[in-house]
Structure 1
Amino acid sequence: MKRIPSFLYTLLIPILLLACNTEQKEQSAAAGDSTDTAAKTPAAKKKTIVFFGNSLTAAYGLDDPSQGFVGLIQKKIDSLKLNYKVINAGVSGETTSGGNSRIDWLLKQPLDIFVLELGGNDGLRGIPVSETKKNLQAIIDKVHTKYPEAKLVLAGMQIPPNIGQKYASDFRAVYADLAEKNDLTLIPFLLEGVGGEAKLNLPDGIHPTAEGHKILAENVWVEIKDLL
Protein backbone atom coordinates (compact mmCIF):
# COMPACT_ATOMS: atom_id res chain seq x y z
CA MET A 1 0.00 0.00 0.00
CA LYS A 2 1.41 3.38 -1.02
CA ARG A 3 2.12 5.99 1.62
CA ILE A 4 0.29 9.33 1.27
CA PRO A 5 2.78 12.06 0.59
CA SER A 6 3.20 14.43 3.53
CA PHE A 7 2.17 17.49 1.55
CA LEU A 8 -1.32 15.93 1.05
CA TYR A 9 -1.79 15.77 4.84
CA THR A 10 -1.15 19.49 4.89
CA LEU A 11 -4.03 19.98 2.43
CA LEU A 12 -6.47 17.47 4.01
CA ILE A 13 -6.32 18.73 7.62
CA PRO A 14 -7.85 22.20 6.91
CA ILE A 15 -10.56 20.56 4.78
CA LEU A 16 -11.49 18.11 7.56
CA LEU A 17 -11.53 20.90 10.16
CA LEU A 18 -13.76 23.02 7.94
CA ALA A 19 -16.18 20.13 7.46
CA CYS A 20 -16.35 19.52 11.23
CA ASN A 21 -16.95 23.21 11.95
CA THR A 22 -19.69 23.39 9.33
CA GLU A 23 -21.46 20.32 10.79
CA GLN A 24 -21.26 21.77 14.31
CA LYS A 25 -22.75 25.09 13.13
CA GLU A 26 -25.60 23.28 11.37
CA GLN A 27 -26.33 21.25 14.51
CA SER A 28 -26.23 24.40 16.65
CA ALA A 29 -28.50 26.23 14.25
CA ALA A 30 -30.95 23.33 14.26
CA ALA A 31 -30.96 23.30 18.05
CA GLY A 32 -31.41 27.06 18.07
CA ASP A 33 -34.38 26.80 15.70
CA SER A 34 -35.95 24.20 17.95
CA THR A 35 -35.47 26.39 21.02
CA ASP A 36 -36.84 29.45 19.24
CA THR A 37 -39.86 27.49 18.06
CA ALA A 38 -40.57 26.30 21.58
CA ALA A 39 -40.12 29.81 22.95
CA LYS A 40 -42.44 31.27 20.33
CA THR A 41 -45.17 28.64 20.85
CA PRO A 42 -47.92 30.42 22.81
CA ALA A 43 -49.50 28.88 25.86
CA ALA A 44 -52.91 27.32 25.30
CA LYS A 45 -55.50 30.05 24.99
CA LYS A 46 -57.73 30.26 28.02
CA LYS A 47 -61.37 29.41 27.61
CA THR A 48 -63.96 31.93 28.75
CA ILE A 49 -66.77 31.67 31.28
CA VAL A 50 -69.23 34.56 31.23
CA PHE A 51 -71.48 35.24 34.20
CA PHE A 52 -74.39 37.31 32.92
CA GLY A 53 -76.60 38.64 35.66
CA ASN A 54 -77.72 41.36 38.02
CA SER A 55 -76.49 42.73 41.37
CA LEU A 56 -75.88 39.23 42.74
CA THR A 57 -73.36 38.56 39.98
CA ALA A 58 -71.97 42.09 40.32
CA ALA A 59 -71.37 41.52 44.08
CA TYR A 60 -73.39 44.60 45.02
CA GLY A 61 -72.57 46.03 48.44
CA LEU A 62 -69.17 44.42 48.88
CA ASP A 63 -66.11 46.62 49.21
CA ASP A 64 -64.14 44.18 47.08
CA PRO A 65 -66.09 42.68 44.14
CA SER A 66 -63.63 39.78 43.99
CA GLN A 67 -65.25 38.55 47.22
CA GLY A 68 -68.45 37.92 45.27
CA PHE A 69 -69.28 34.42 44.09
CA VAL A 70 -68.01 35.10 40.57
CA GLY A 71 -64.62 36.24 41.86
CA LEU A 72 -64.49 33.20 44.16
CA ILE A 73 -65.15 30.91 41.20
CA GLN A 74 -62.15 32.43 39.42
CA LYS A 75 -59.98 31.84 42.50
CA LYS A 76 -61.17 28.25 42.63
CA ILE A 77 -60.33 27.76 38.97
CA ASP A 78 -56.89 29.29 39.44
CA SER A 79 -56.16 27.12 42.47
CA LEU A 80 -56.94 24.02 40.39
CA LYS A 81 -54.85 25.39 37.48
CA LEU A 82 -57.76 25.06 35.07
CA ASN A 83 -57.38 26.95 31.80
CA TYR A 84 -60.37 29.27 32.15
CA LYS A 85 -60.86 32.97 32.69
CA VAL A 86 -64.03 34.37 34.21
CA ILE A 87 -65.80 37.49 32.95
CA ASN A 88 -68.22 39.19 35.31
CA ALA A 89 -71.02 40.70 33.22
CA GLY A 90 -73.28 41.55 36.14
CA VAL A 91 -75.22 44.83 36.19
CA SER A 92 -77.04 45.90 39.34
CA GLY A 93 -80.77 46.36 38.84
CA GLU A 94 -80.79 44.37 35.59
CA THR A 95 -84.07 42.77 34.55
CA THR A 96 -84.51 40.03 31.98
CA SER A 97 -85.68 42.66 29.52
CA GLY A 98 -82.55 44.71 30.08
CA GLY A 99 -80.41 41.60 29.74
CA ASN A 100 -82.07 40.71 26.46
CA SER A 101 -81.30 44.20 25.19
CA ARG A 102 -77.58 44.08 26.00
CA ILE A 103 -76.77 40.44 25.24
CA ASP A 104 -76.02 41.12 21.57
CA TRP A 105 -73.19 43.47 22.52
CA LEU A 106 -71.76 40.95 24.98
CA LEU A 107 -71.78 38.17 22.41
CA LYS A 108 -69.24 40.03 20.29
CA GLN A 109 -66.58 38.27 22.37
CA PRO A 110 -66.18 34.48 22.18
CA LEU A 111 -67.29 32.37 25.13
CA ASP A 112 -67.22 28.72 26.09
CA ILE A 113 -69.51 28.63 29.12
CA PHE A 114 -72.39 31.03 29.73
CA VAL A 115 -73.97 31.32 33.18
CA LEU A 116 -77.32 33.13 33.08
CA GLU A 117 -78.39 34.70 36.38
CA LEU A 118 -81.38 36.95 35.79
CA GLY A 119 -85.00 37.20 36.88
CA GLY A 120 -84.76 38.19 40.52
CA ASN A 121 -85.52 41.83 39.80
CA ASP A 122 -88.45 40.80 37.62
CA GLY A 123 -89.93 38.94 40.56
CA LEU A 124 -89.41 41.81 42.99
CA ARG A 125 -91.16 44.16 40.54
CA GLY A 126 -94.03 41.77 39.89
CA ILE A 127 -93.33 41.55 36.17
CA PRO A 128 -95.55 38.88 34.59
CA VAL A 129 -93.92 35.47 34.75
CA SER A 130 -94.65 34.89 31.06
CA GLU A 131 -92.61 38.00 30.22
CA THR A 132 -89.68 36.86 32.33
CA LYS A 133 -89.73 33.43 30.72
CA LYS A 134 -89.91 34.89 27.22
CA ASN A 135 -86.91 37.16 27.84
CA LEU A 136 -84.82 34.38 29.35
CA GLN A 137 -85.61 32.15 26.38
CA ALA A 138 -84.63 34.94 23.99
CA ILE A 139 -81.25 35.30 25.71
CA ILE A 140 -80.68 31.54 25.60
CA ASP A 141 -81.57 31.45 21.90
CA LYS A 142 -79.15 34.26 21.08
CA VAL A 143 -76.28 32.55 22.88
CA HIS A 144 -77.05 29.21 21.20
CA THR A 145 -77.22 30.84 17.78
CA LYS A 146 -73.96 32.75 18.16
CA TYR A 147 -71.98 30.01 19.91
CA PRO A 148 -73.71 26.64 19.32
CA GLU A 149 -70.88 24.74 21.03
CA ALA A 150 -71.02 26.81 24.23
CA LYS A 151 -72.29 25.20 27.42
CA LEU A 152 -75.14 27.08 29.11
CA VAL A 153 -75.93 27.19 32.81
CA LEU A 154 -79.10 28.67 34.28
CA ALA A 155 -79.13 29.97 37.85
CA GLY A 156 -82.52 29.34 39.41
CA MET A 157 -84.18 32.02 41.49
CA GLN A 158 -87.08 32.14 43.93
CA ILE A 159 -89.03 34.98 45.49
CA PRO A 160 -90.82 35.27 48.84
CA PRO A 161 -94.42 33.98 48.89
CA ASN A 162 -95.65 37.27 50.34
CA ILE A 163 -95.74 38.60 46.78
CA GLY A 164 -98.39 35.98 46.09
CA GLN A 165 -98.25 32.22 46.45
CA LYS A 166 -99.24 31.43 42.85
CA TYR A 167 -96.91 34.06 41.42
CA ALA A 168 -94.02 32.72 43.51
CA SER A 169 -94.77 29.15 42.48
CA ASP A 170 -95.05 30.00 38.77
CA PHE A 171 -91.88 32.08 38.97
CA ARG A 172 -89.87 29.25 40.54
CA ALA A 173 -91.05 26.81 37.88
CA VAL A 174 -89.71 28.99 35.03
CA TYR A 175 -86.11 27.93 35.61
CA ALA A 176 -86.70 24.19 35.72
CA ASP A 177 -88.90 24.44 32.61
CA LEU A 178 -86.29 26.38 30.64
CA ALA A 179 -83.47 24.09 31.75
CA GLU A 180 -85.38 21.00 30.63
CA LYS A 181 -86.56 22.52 27.36
CA ASN A 182 -83.09 23.75 26.36
CA ASP A 183 -81.04 20.96 27.96
CA LEU A 184 -79.20 23.39 30.24
CA THR A 185 -77.26 22.79 33.42
CA LEU A 186 -79.47 24.09 36.24
CA ILE A 187 -78.42 25.61 39.54
CA PRO A 188 -81.72 24.88 41.34
CA PHE A 189 -81.60 27.94 43.59
CA LEU A 190 -78.62 30.29 43.55
CA LEU A 191 -79.38 31.63 47.05
CA GLU A 192 -79.83 28.20 48.65
CA GLY A 193 -78.64 28.44 52.26
CA VAL A 194 -78.37 32.24 52.09
CA GLY A 195 -81.80 33.62 51.21
CA GLY A 196 -83.66 34.65 54.34
CA GLU A 197 -80.59 34.24 56.58
CA ALA A 198 -80.07 37.66 58.15
CA LYS A 199 -76.46 37.07 59.19
CA LEU A 200 -75.52 36.15 55.61
CA ASN A 201 -77.15 39.18 54.01
CA LEU A 202 -76.54 42.90 54.02
CA PRO A 203 -79.00 45.12 55.95
CA ASP A 204 -81.26 45.28 52.88
CA GLY A 205 -81.98 41.59 53.39
CA ILE A 206 -81.49 40.92 49.67
CA HIS A 207 -77.79 41.01 48.88
CA PRO A 208 -75.37 38.51 50.42
CA THR A 209 -72.41 39.43 52.60
CA ALA A 210 -68.94 38.14 51.75
CA GLU A 211 -69.72 35.05 53.83
CA GLY A 212 -72.98 34.62 51.98
CA HIS A 213 -71.18 34.78 48.65
CA LYS A 214 -68.94 31.89 49.72
CA ILE A 215 -72.05 29.73 49.92
CA LEU A 216 -73.28 31.01 46.56
CA ALA A 217 -69.93 30.09 45.05
CA GLU A 218 -70.33 26.54 46.36
CA ASN A 219 -73.86 26.35 44.97
CA VAL A 220 -72.51 27.32 41.57
CA TRP A 221 -69.35 25.21 41.71
CA VAL A 222 -71.25 21.99 42.44
CA GLU A 223 -73.11 22.40 39.15
CA ILE A 224 -70.40 23.71 36.83
CA LYS A 225 -67.29 21.79 37.91
CA ASP A 226 -68.04 18.90 35.57
CA LEU A 227 -68.31 21.30 32.62
CA LEU A 228 -64.74 22.54 32.99
Structure 2
Amino acid sequence: MAGLLLTLCVAGCNSKTETSQTQDQKPAAADSTSKPVEENRKKTILFFGNSLTAGYGLDPAEAFPALVGEKAKTAGFDYQVVNAGVSGETTAGGKSRISWVLNKPVDVFVLELGANDGLRGIPLDDSKKNLQAILDTVKLKSPQAQIVIAGMHIPPNLGPDYSGQFYRIFIDLSRKNKAALIPFLLDDVAGIPKLNQADGIHPTAEGHKIVAENVWKVLEPVLQKQQL
Protein backbone atom coordinates (compact mmCIF):
# COMPACT_ATOMS: atom_id res chain seq x y z
CA MET A 1 0.00 0.00 0.00
CA ALA A 2 3.06 2.21 -0.14
CA GLY A 3 2.26 5.46 -1.81
CA LEU A 4 -1.48 4.91 -1.61
CA LEU A 5 -2.21 5.97 1.93
CA LEU A 6 -0.90 9.33 3.15
CA THR A 7 -1.53 9.77 6.88
CA LEU A 8 -1.55 13.41 7.95
CA CYS A 9 0.67 14.39 10.88
CA VAL A 10 -1.60 16.06 13.38
CA ALA A 11 0.89 17.18 16.01
CA GLY A 12 4.59 17.17 16.68
CA CYS A 13 5.62 17.18 13.03
CA ASN A 14 8.38 19.55 12.04
CA SER A 15 10.13 19.19 8.74
CA LYS A 16 12.37 21.53 6.75
CA THR A 17 13.54 21.42 3.22
CA GLU A 18 16.62 23.47 2.53
CA THR A 19 17.68 24.32 -0.99
CA SER A 20 20.64 26.28 -2.21
CA GLN A 21 21.68 27.61 -5.55
CA THR A 22 25.18 28.72 -6.49
CA GLN A 23 25.81 31.71 -8.70
CA ASP A 24 26.72 29.38 -11.56
CA GLN A 25 23.38 27.57 -11.33
CA LYS A 26 20.44 28.97 -13.21
CA PRO A 27 16.81 27.90 -13.01
CA ALA A 28 15.87 25.52 -15.79
CA ALA A 29 13.87 27.09 -18.55
CA ALA A 30 10.20 26.27 -18.43
CA ASP A 31 9.08 23.66 -20.93
CA SER A 32 6.44 25.30 -23.05
CA THR A 33 4.97 21.90 -23.85
CA SER A 34 4.51 20.83 -20.23
CA LYS A 35 1.06 20.78 -18.65
CA PRO A 36 0.16 23.06 -15.75
CA VAL A 37 0.93 21.64 -12.31
CA GLU A 38 -2.80 21.42 -11.56
CA GLU A 39 -3.33 19.08 -14.51
CA ASN A 40 -0.37 16.87 -13.59
CA ARG A 41 -1.23 16.37 -9.92
CA LYS A 42 -2.67 13.06 -8.80
CA LYS A 43 -6.31 13.11 -7.77
CA THR A 44 -6.94 12.91 -4.03
CA ILE A 45 -9.61 11.49 -1.74
CA LEU A 46 -9.43 13.06 1.71
CA PHE A 47 -11.13 11.38 4.67
CA PHE A 48 -11.75 13.95 7.40
CA GLY A 49 -12.98 12.48 10.65
CA ASN A 50 -12.42 11.19 14.16
CA SER A 51 -11.13 7.93 15.63
CA LEU A 52 -13.28 5.88 13.27
CA THR A 53 -11.44 7.34 10.30
CA ALA A 54 -8.08 7.25 12.09
CA GLY A 55 -8.53 3.52 12.77
CA TYR A 56 -8.26 3.68 16.55
CA GLY A 57 -6.50 0.63 17.98
CA LEU A 58 -5.43 -0.64 14.55
CA ASP A 59 -2.66 -0.25 12.04
CA PRO A 60 -3.62 2.59 9.64
CA ALA A 61 -3.53 0.05 6.80
CA GLU A 62 -6.46 -1.76 8.47
CA ALA A 63 -8.64 1.35 8.76
CA PHE A 64 -11.46 1.83 6.28
CA PRO A 65 -9.86 4.76 4.36
CA ALA A 66 -6.92 2.53 3.37
CA LEU A 67 -9.27 -0.31 2.48
CA VAL A 68 -11.38 2.01 0.35
CA GLY A 69 -8.20 3.17 -1.36
CA GLU A 70 -7.42 -0.43 -2.27
CA LYS A 71 -10.91 -0.88 -3.67
CA ALA A 72 -10.50 2.24 -5.77
CA LYS A 73 -7.16 1.02 -7.09
CA THR A 74 -8.57 -2.41 -7.93
CA ALA A 75 -11.46 -0.75 -9.77
CA GLY A 76 -9.00 1.23 -11.87
CA PHE A 77 -9.31 4.64 -10.20
CA ASP A 78 -5.98 6.41 -9.82
CA TYR A 79 -6.38 8.34 -6.56
CA GLN A 80 -4.19 8.90 -3.55
CA VAL A 81 -5.92 8.55 -0.19
CA VAL A 82 -5.29 10.94 2.69
CA ASN A 83 -6.40 9.84 6.16
CA ALA A 84 -7.08 13.01 8.18
CA GLY A 85 -8.70 11.27 11.12
CA VAL A 86 -8.03 12.46 14.68
CA SER A 87 -9.16 10.45 17.69
CA GLY A 88 -11.56 12.36 19.93
CA GLU A 89 -12.27 14.97 17.29
CA THR A 90 -15.48 17.02 17.62
CA THR A 91 -17.09 19.17 14.96
CA ALA A 92 -15.57 22.23 16.66
CA GLY A 93 -12.13 20.68 16.47
CA GLY A 94 -12.67 19.82 12.83
CA LYS A 95 -13.75 23.36 12.09
CA SER A 96 -10.55 24.72 13.67
CA ARG A 97 -8.18 22.55 11.62
CA ILE A 98 -9.89 22.21 8.26
CA SER A 99 -8.12 25.17 6.66
CA TRP A 100 -4.61 23.81 7.16
CA VAL A 101 -5.68 20.28 6.27
CA LEU A 102 -6.79 21.62 2.90
CA ASN A 103 -3.40 23.05 2.07
CA LYS A 104 -3.61 21.27 -1.28
CA PRO A 105 -6.59 20.70 -3.59
CA VAL A 106 -8.68 17.57 -3.12
CA ASP A 107 -11.09 15.93 -5.53
CA VAL A 108 -13.26 13.98 -3.09
CA PHE A 109 -13.87 15.07 0.50
CA VAL A 110 -15.40 12.50 2.86
CA LEU A 111 -16.72 14.10 6.06
CA GLU A 112 -16.98 11.76 9.05
CA LEU A 113 -17.58 13.88 12.13
CA GLY A 114 -20.31 14.36 14.71
CA ALA A 115 -20.33 11.15 16.73
CA ASN A 116 -18.29 12.64 19.57
CA ASP A 117 -20.62 15.64 19.68
CA GLY A 118 -23.59 13.35 20.04
CA LEU A 119 -22.01 11.25 22.75
CA ARG A 120 -21.21 14.41 24.72
CA GLY A 121 -24.64 15.94 24.28
CA ILE A 122 -23.37 19.03 22.47
CA PRO A 123 -26.24 21.25 21.27
CA LEU A 124 -27.37 20.05 17.88
CA ASP A 125 -27.44 23.52 16.35
CA ASP A 126 -23.78 23.98 17.27
CA SER A 127 -22.78 20.69 15.66
CA LYS A 128 -24.72 21.46 12.51
CA LYS A 129 -23.19 24.95 12.19
CA ASN A 130 -19.69 23.55 12.67
CA LEU A 131 -20.21 20.89 10.03
CA GLN A 132 -21.58 23.46 7.59
CA ALA A 133 -18.57 25.70 8.28
CA ILE A 134 -16.28 22.79 7.41
CA LEU A 135 -18.15 22.21 4.15
CA ASP A 136 -18.05 25.91 3.33
CA THR A 137 -14.27 25.85 3.73
CA VAL A 138 -14.03 22.84 1.42
CA LYS A 139 -16.06 24.67 -1.22
CA LEU A 140 -13.84 27.72 -0.89
CA LYS A 141 -10.48 25.93 -1.00
CA SER A 142 -11.39 23.02 -3.30
CA PRO A 143 -14.48 24.10 -5.25
CA GLN A 144 -14.03 21.17 -7.62
CA ALA A 145 -14.30 18.61 -4.82
CA GLN A 146 -17.16 16.14 -4.63
CA ILE A 147 -18.44 15.91 -1.05
CA VAL A 148 -19.49 12.70 0.68
CA ILE A 149 -21.07 12.83 4.15
CA ALA A 150 -21.02 9.86 6.51
CA GLY A 151 -24.27 9.55 8.44
CA MET A 152 -24.12 8.49 12.06
CA HIS A 153 -26.57 7.21 14.66
CA ILE A 154 -26.01 7.52 18.42
CA PRO A 155 -27.49 5.53 21.33
CA PRO A 156 -30.75 6.96 22.74
CA ASN A 157 -29.10 7.81 26.07
CA LEU A 158 -30.05 11.48 25.73
CA GLY A 159 -33.58 10.67 24.64
CA PRO A 160 -35.14 9.67 21.31
CA ASP A 161 -35.73 13.28 20.28
CA TYR A 162 -32.07 14.17 20.56
CA SER A 163 -30.85 11.02 18.78
CA GLY A 164 -33.45 11.40 16.03
CA GLN A 165 -32.61 15.05 15.40
CA PHE A 166 -28.92 14.19 15.54
CA TYR A 167 -29.22 11.83 12.59
CA ARG A 168 -31.35 14.35 10.72
CA ILE A 169 -28.34 16.71 10.66
CA PHE A 170 -26.55 14.53 8.12
CA ILE A 171 -29.59 14.24 5.87
CA ASP A 172 -30.15 18.00 5.92
CA LEU A 173 -26.49 18.79 5.22
CA SER A 174 -26.29 16.33 2.34
CA ARG A 175 -29.33 17.90 0.70
CA LYS A 176 -28.24 21.49 1.31
CA ASN A 177 -24.75 20.86 -0.06
CA LYS A 178 -25.75 18.43 -2.81
CA ALA A 179 -23.47 15.85 -1.25
CA ALA A 180 -23.58 12.08 -1.45
CA LEU A 181 -24.75 10.49 1.81
CA ILE A 182 -23.56 7.28 3.42
CA PRO A 183 -26.79 6.44 5.29
CA PHE A 184 -25.03 4.94 8.34
CA LEU A 185 -21.26 4.51 8.41
CA LEU A 186 -21.38 1.68 10.96
CA ASP A 187 -24.23 -0.24 9.37
CA ASP A 188 -23.91 -3.98 10.14
CA VAL A 189 -21.07 -3.21 12.57
CA ALA A 190 -22.44 -1.13 15.46
CA GLY A 191 -23.65 -3.22 18.39
CA ILE A 192 -22.08 -6.45 17.13
CA PRO A 193 -19.49 -7.53 19.75
CA LYS A 194 -17.27 -9.61 17.45
CA LEU A 195 -16.88 -6.68 15.06
CA ASN A 196 -15.93 -4.16 17.73
CA GLN A 197 -13.02 -3.76 20.09
CA ALA A 198 -13.37 -4.19 23.85
CA ASP A 199 -14.75 -0.67 24.26
CA GLY A 200 -17.75 -1.61 22.15
CA ILE A 201 -17.37 1.55 20.08
CA HIS A 202 -14.43 1.18 17.73
CA PRO A 203 -14.54 -1.49 15.00
CA THR A 204 -12.01 -4.29 14.77
CA ALA A 205 -10.08 -4.94 11.57
CA GLU A 206 -12.98 -7.13 10.42
CA GLY A 207 -15.43 -4.40 11.32
CA HIS A 208 -13.48 -1.88 9.24
CA LYS A 209 -13.79 -4.17 6.23
CA ILE A 210 -17.57 -3.86 6.48
CA VAL A 211 -17.33 -0.10 7.03
CA ALA A 212 -15.21 0.12 3.88
CA GLU A 213 -17.97 -1.67 1.96
CA ASN A 214 -20.53 0.81 3.29
CA VAL A 215 -18.37 3.69 2.11
CA TRP A 216 -17.51 2.13 -1.24
CA LYS A 217 -21.16 1.65 -2.18
CA VAL A 218 -21.57 5.43 -2.12
CA LEU A 219 -18.09 6.49 -3.17
CA GLU A 220 -17.74 4.34 -6.29
CA PRO A 221 -20.49 6.19 -8.23
CA VAL A 222 -18.87 9.49 -7.21
CA LEU A 223 -15.53 8.37 -8.68
CA GLN A 224 -17.23 7.11 -11.80
CA LYS A 225 -18.88 10.47 -12.28
CA GLN A 226 -15.51 12.22 -12.02
CA GLN A 227 -14.19 10.12 -14.86
CA LEU A 228 -16.86 11.38 -17.27
Bin for the TM-score computed over the shorter chain = 0.7 to 0.9
Task: Report whether the alignment pairs 1:99 with 2:98.
Answer: no
**Unaligned stretches of 5+ in structure 1?**
1-36
TM-fit CA distance, 1:114:
0.3
Counterpart residue type for residue 179 of structure 1 = S
- Larger displacement relative to structure 2 (133-142 or 71-80): 71-80
Counterpart residue type for residue 79 of structure 1 = T
Moved over 6 A (4+): 40-43
Identity value in percent? 58
Counterparts of 1:93 and 1:164 in 2: how far apart (Å)?
A: 23
**Unaligned stretches of 5+ in structure 2?**
1-30, 224-228
Rg larger for = 1
Match of 1:28 in 2: none
Decide which structure has greater helix share.
Answer: 1
Q: What RMSD, in angstroms, separates the aligned Cα atoms of the two structures?
A: 1.8
Q: 1:61 aligns with which of 44, 57, 63?
A: 57
TM-fit CA distance, 1:45:
3.6
TM-fit CA distance, 1:118:
0.2
User: 1:1-228 residue pairs with structure 2 within 5 A?
Assistant: 45-62=41-58, 64-228=59-223
Counterparts of 2:109 and 2:72 in 1: how far apart (Å)?
A: 16
Counterparts of 2:144 and 2:212 in 1: how far apart (Å)?
A: 25
How many residues align? The count is 189
Counterparts of 1:136 and 1:52 in 2: how far apart (Å)?
A: 11
**Alignment TM-score, normalising by the size of structure 1:** 0.79
Q: CA-to-partner distance for each residue in 1:138-191, whole Å, 9 max, x for gaps?
A: 000110111211100100011011221111011010000110111110001100
Q: CA-to-partner distance for each residue in 1:43-72, whole Å, 9 max, x for gaps?
A: 96420000000000000011x211110110
Counterparts of 2:129 and 2:60 in 1: how far apart (Å)?
A: 30
